[in-house]
Amino acid sequence: LSNPSPRQRQRRGKLTGRRIAPYLFLIPNMTVFGLFTIWPAINGFRISLYDSNNGRTFEAVGFKNYRRIVDDPRFSDVVRNTLTFVIAYVAVVTILATILAMLLDAQRRGRGPLRAAYFLPVVISPVVVGLVWSWMFTRRTGIVNSVLEDIGLGQPRWLLDKNLAMIVVIAAAVWTHVGFYAMILLAGLKGIPGHLYEAARIDGAGTLQRIRRITLPLLRPTTMVVIVLGTINGFQAFDYVYTLTGGGPVGGTTFIVQYIFERAFQSPIQYGLASAAGVMFFLVVFTATLINYLFGRRKEAI
């Protein structure tokens, strides 16, 4: 690069200069982001130290909201449900998305339509996903039990048994998101140089060996992205769960976002309590993401 001319140097100080222009481009986005995400988030922390049942009058209560949540036996159930769901969901969706991505990568014919088919659930409204799955798994009239009964397997209590309901919710979550993660992993697969496989083949490595020694290690950064996104996504699960099981049976699939929602928007409105739960939720997701990230980076370094 040649040295900047005096005129170019002068332009650096102006609005169109390199030092200022990027920030100008960022301002519109950051204003909206700051006003509707950062500022409310900061206020969320502040509200968690207050009691308010109308959003208009606030009474400072210190850490009372936090103490109440920690002492709430329902909250410990909610945390346990959430962790069970997130761990199972992330594990299943990562494995399935990886397999799906490899299959799609190897697919020669009909690649486009297949990808579209797997991606389709991502664009369906989560509320609709929840409703459709709830109709499918209703014990007496659901299509799943109609089929199972016809082949002599009886009528499992899908949405009436806590464990079965959890499995249905995890399955719905995986079905919804697997296509999205598979696309991310597919992009990762495309980035692995073909000559590595060629060399391995010449050295006599079988398919499984190639997957284990080349594909999976080189796909690790992308897999980490999927795990981090999946973890965040899992913790945030609400809409389709709410329409699928309503958090039931008897609280068996009530996750943390529903807990927050019910405290904030169902009578009696308790914005302070909801915000405190929101702050705790933020800390959990942040920690989980950080651990994932650090763990992934360490692995990468090895």
Partner 1 sequence: MGRRSRTLAAVVAGGLVAGVLGFAGVAPAGAGTTEPPPGTAAASGIDFSAYEGESLTYVYFTDGPDEAATRSLIERFTEETGVEVDLQLVPFADLETTLQAQLSGGDVPDVARVTNWRPISDAIIDMSEYFGADYFEQFLPGFAATGMGPNGELFAVPSDLTMNGPFINVDAFNEAGVDIPTEWTWDDLVAAAKEVQEANDMEFAVAIDKSGHRVSTVLSQFGTVLLGPDGVALDPAKAEAAITTLTDLMAEDAMSADFWLETGSRYAGANEMFLAGAVPVYISGNWQVGQFAENATFEWAAVPNPCAERCGGFPGGKYMVAFSGSDNPELAAGFVEWMNQSANQAELVAGASWLPTRNDLIEQGIEYPDRSEDMAVFIADVAETPEDTYLSLGSPAFGPSATALVEEIAFVVAGENDPAGAVETLVERMEQALEDVGG
Which residues are near partner 1 by CB under 8 A?
36-37, 39-44, 46-47, 50, 52-60, 134, 138-140, 159-160, 242, 245-251, 253-254, 258, 262, 264-271, 275
Q: Which is nearer to partner 1, 62 or 204 (CB)?
A: 62
CB half-sphere exposure, 14, CA atoms < 13 A? 6
Q: Tell me the closest approach of the beta carbon of residue 223 to partner 1, in angstroms.
A: 33
* Torsion angle (degrees, nearest 10) of CA 29, 32, 36, 41: 50
Q: Tell me the closest approach of the beta carbon of residue 47 to partner 1, in angstroms.
A: 5
49 and 68 in contact (C-beta within 8 Å)? no
| Tokens read off for 238 | 């609400």
Q: Which is nearer to partner 1, 81 or 292 (CB)?
A: 81
Cα–Cα distances (Å) from 52 to 28, 47, 143, 149, in that order, read: 33, 8, 45, 51
Spatial distance between the Cα atoms of 149 and 144, rounded to a whole number of angstroms: 9
Q: Tell me the closest approach of the beta carbon of residue 39 to partner 1, in angstroms.
A: 7
Q: Tell me the closest approach of the beta carbon of residue 173 to partner 1, in angstroms.
A: 16
Cα Rg of the chain (Å, integer): 25
Q: Tell me the closest approach of the beta carbon of residue 282 to partner 1, in angstroms.
A: 12
Q: Which is nearer to partner 1, 41 or 116 (CB)?
A: 41
Q: Which is nearer to partner 1, 146 or 209 (CB)?
A: 146
Q: Which is nearer to partner 1, 88 or 260 (CB)?
A: 260
- Give residue for tokens 């913790």: 235
